[in-house]
Amino acid sequence: MVHSKSIRPASEELRDVVMALRGLQSTIAVAVSALRHQNADIDADIANLLQRSVSGPLEDCAQRLEAIAARLPRSPSRKR
Domain boundaries, the chain: 9-71
pLDDT score recorded for residue 7? 62
Q: With a cut of 60, say whether residue 6 has pLDDT above it.
A: no
Closest alpha carbon to 36 in 55, 22, 17: 55
Task: Give the C-alpha separation, 69 to 24, whole Å.
Answer: 19
C-alpha span between 74 and 20 (Å, rounded): 19
Helices first, then strands: H and E counts in the chain: 3, 0
Percentage of the chain surpassing pLDDT 70? Answer: 82
Q: What type of residue sits at position 53?
A: S
What would the mean pLDDT of 31-60 be, rounded to a whole number? 81
The answer to whether the pTM exceeds 0.75 is no
Tell me which amino acid residue 77 is.
Answer: S
Residue 15, SS3 per DSSP: helix
